[in-house]
Structure 1
């Protein structure tokens, strides 16, 4: 897959993950276990390896196969976390899903919404995808703020959707299609034009934290 897989806005940048990122990403994961464990994907078949070198090799293979784009998020040139575009579907669907994590020391600096906006713009313009989705656990207020800021639309409740932190968890689904953001997701947000209530969850779908 040939795509421009880097973007910057102020101190925040995203780029394709590299093998040499394994050490700093592994250090972040180990130092942030209590911060990240609640939100990490697990497997119903047993423990998942936290070997970052192996994980990066698999992610880069998915990139070569055209099924994903693995980014690192940076702040002032320092690796702050990961953002993965995964499940890329071509043809009549032309869609993908975004997942991410950021180390606690970098939280609260708009790194994640800026990175999500840039990655979505890359997917719409460079990859020519039509729809981008983000699925978030009801308890994950920080991630919910990301889609609220960027104006992703709420699309529905998915019961027991993804295996997270040892069990099947409910998720809220949010999405954007290319026609909604002709000026780009990042430009729309920076201009203060993201719809304020697009990510609002209907009363009937709200779950307890």
Structure 2
């Protein structure tokens, strides 16, 4: 799969390259305290910083047509990563978006711009029908991203992804093409996003405040 370069203002999405390994490693280490609580981990092995292996895996997934691994740049500086994963065509025609940005780029509109660029590309160039983002209930910065872009809240997923050493609950948000009269980026920049699309129900907020009990054999 060809990975495009997409830009809006100071924000650029470009394909990840092997030569990004060292800069990515430095950024991840520099932002350890900022990112650690949101970092995907494996329940079977300790977290490692083998960024070259990670990039190779992402590139192989892209060659198989299942992903789009991007570097996020702001004013030409490496600011983070965005990955479109689980790309599926046919009767499902969907994908999932995950991302991280360095702390010094937070609050500058970098993440919503990157997510909007990637979503529009998947809808209007790849022909996908549905895009999904899953976010931990505690991650207020990411929740603001889906609020800004008008991703619709779909529900609470219990112990959904292994994050920072344990299985964590996530709120699920999505968009389908029928909801858009214009692209995600244009809709946001023009101020046409519905103000309550990403509103999480009070029931789900209350449920997420308490961990799901884990059954123990007696």
Which category describes the TM-score, using the shorter chain as reference length? over 0.9
Q: Where do residues 1-209 of structure 1 align in structure 2 (5 Å cutoff)?
A: 1-2=1-2, 5-206=4-205, 207-208=208-209
Deviation of 1:130 after TM superposition, in Å, equals 0.5
Deviation of 1:45 after TM superposition, in Å, equals 0.5
Deviation of 1:21 after TM superposition, in Å, equals 1.1
Distance in structure 2 (CA, Å) of the matches to 1:181 and 1:14: 22
TM-score, normalised relative to structure 1: 0.97
5+ long unaligned stretches in structure 1 = none
* Partner-residue secondary structure (3-state), 2:172: strand
Q: Which aligned segments of 4 or more residues in structure 1 are displaced greater than 4 angstroms?
A: none
Distance in structure 1 (CA, Å) of the matches to 2:14 and 2:120: 13
Deviation of 1:20 after TM superposition, in Å, equals 1.2
Deviation of 1:106 after TM superposition, in Å, equals 1.1
Deviation of 1:7 after TM superposition, in Å, equals 1.2
Larger radius of gyration: 2
Aligned pair count reads: 208
Deviation of 1:48 after TM superposition, in Å, equals 3.0
Distance in structure 1 (CA, Å) of the matches to 2:77 and 2:147: 26
Distance in structure 1 (CA, Å) of the matches to 2:116 and 2:202: 27
5+ long unaligned stretches in structure 2 = 211-218
TM-score, normalised relative to structure 2: 0.93
CA RMSD, aligned part only?
1.1
Deviation of 1:50 after TM superposition, in Å, equals 1.4
* Partner-residue secondary structure (3-state), 1:98: strand
Deviation of 1:208 after TM superposition, in Å, equals 2.9
Distance in structure 2 (CA, Å) of the matches to 1:51 and 1:2: 24
Deviation of 1:18 after TM superposition, in Å, equals 1.2
* Partner-residue secondary structure (3-state), 1:196: coil
Distance in structure 2 (CA, Å) of the matches to 1:59 and 1:182: 32
